[in-house]
Amino acid sequence: MWVNRALANLAEESRKLKLDPKEKESKPHCEKHQEELKLFCETDRKLICVFCRDSREHKSHNFLPINEAVEIYKNKLKSSLDSLTEKKSAVLQTELTQKRKISEVREQASSLQTHITSEFTKMHQILTEKEQRLLRDLREEEERVVEPMEKNLREIQENLNYIEGKLSKLQKQMEQDDIPEGERYDPS
């Protein structure tokens, strides 16, 4: 973090200095000694004059000529820029890969959904057909069982009607006072 701040300060100072020798403007001067700022104190991260270098304040500090310091920090900036560019490229590649995977998952999910719907439609059709077949078989079995029972019921009813007819005839005979000899009860 402090390297970035120092680089920003250095860049600002170098803009102030306008290191292009063709420029005719005056160079920045030390506020303390009124001398041209020619050195960069690496320890304090600031531009200084030769008198500041020899002062107690900067004793045992490391110094670089401004042009050399600018070059070093430009190289560091370029290195940081290259590193960030590589990281950006890697992140973009990761983003692209992630988007591709998301798309693949969505396509697979859609395909699976279509397959599931299709399979359940087939199963519904099979179940409906089976239901219809079983209902038809049940009706046929019902008819097979009920038909002889109904025939038997008709015979029972006919027999009952016959018996009721005989009963009615016998009751009428009993109600008569005089039963003729030939009309007497015949159980057959």
Token pair, residue 130, equals 């089976």
- Higher local confidence (pLDDT), 175 or 156: 156
Q: Crossing angle, helix 2-17 and helix 66-175, to 10 degrees? A: 130
Which of the 8 DSSP states describes residue 56? G
Query: What are the angstrom distances between the C-alpha of 141 and each of 101, 130, 146?
Result: 58, 16, 8
Check whether 147 has a pLDDT greater than 80.
Answer: yes
Contacts of 67 (CB under 8 A, 6+ apart): 19
pLDDT digit string, tens, across residues 3-55: 566 666 666 666 665 555 444 456 888 888 888 888 988 888 889 898 888 88
Q: Answer yes or no: are the C-beta atoms of 22 and 40 closer than 8 Å.
A: no
For residues 91-100, give the mean pLDDT: 98
Query: Which CATH code for domain 2-19+26-94?
Result: 3.30.160.60
Q: Which of 49, 94, 42 is nearest to 69 (CA)?
A: 42
What is the pLDDT, as a whole number, of residue 23? 47
pLDDT digit string, tens, across residues 63-86: 889 889 889 889 999 999 999 999
Kindly tell me the sign of the dihedral angle through the C-alpha atoms of 78, 63, 65, 31. positive
Over pLDDT 90: what percentage of the chain? 53
Q: In which residue are the tokens 């097979």 written?
A: 144
- pTM, entire model: 0.45
Check whether 182 has a pLDDT greater than 80.
Answer: no
Question: Residue 92's Cα: distance from chain center in Å?
Answer: 21
Radius of gyration for the chain, computed over Cα atoms and rounded to the nearest angstrom: 58
Dist CA 78 CA 7 (whole Å): 11
Q: Answer yes or no: are the C-beta atoms of 50 and 35 closer than 8 Å.
A: yes
What is the pLDDT, as a whole number, of residue 90? 97
pLDDT digit string, tens, across residues 148-163: 999 999 999 999 999 9
Region of 34 please: left (phi>0), alpha (psi -120 to 50) or beta: left
- Higher local confidence (pLDDT), 12 or 126: 126
